[in-house]
């Protein structure tokens, strides 16, 4: 069996990509928030905003990817005419 056609690899790749993206986004936006807080003297404000922005962005991307995977898995209708016609 080819690895490209195996759905288990597709979903494993999806889960790995989601995890790495989540960790990187939280880290980067946390660091950005910490930098802003140090400069402006608003200690936890931008750190918290950065973390919530990261989580929101990653989950929005997650739902977009799930929709794409669902469309990919469903069979395509080759007859664009009336449903009764064949």
**Whole-model pTM over 0.75:** no
Task: Print pLDDT tens along the chain (86 aa).
Answer: 555 677 788 888 888 999 999 999 999 999 999 999 999 999 899 999 999 999 999 999 999 988 887 787 676 655 555 655 54
Residue 27 neighbours by CB distance under 10 Å: 13
Distances (CA, A) of 18 to 2, 11, 60, 61, 75: 24, 10, 11, 9, 25
Q: What is the DSSP string of 47-63?
A: HHHHHHHHHHHHHHHHH
User: What confidence score (pLDDT) does residue 14 get?
Assistant: 86
Distance CA 86, CA 80 (A): 10
Nearest Cα neighbor of 73 from 22, 20, 14 is 14
Q: What is the pLDDT of residue 35?
A: 96
């Amino acid at each position: 069996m080819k690895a490209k056609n195996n759905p288990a690899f597709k979903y494993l790749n999806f889960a790995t990509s989601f995890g790495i993206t989540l960790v990187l986004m939280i880290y980067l936006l946390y660091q950005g928030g910490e930098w802003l807080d140090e400069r402006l003297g608003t200690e936890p404000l931008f750190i918290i905003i950065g973390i919530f922005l990261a989580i929101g962005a990653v989950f929005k991307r997650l739902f977009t990817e799930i929709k794409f995977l669902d469309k990919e898995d469903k069979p395509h209708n080759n007859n664009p005419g009336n449903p009764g016609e064949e």
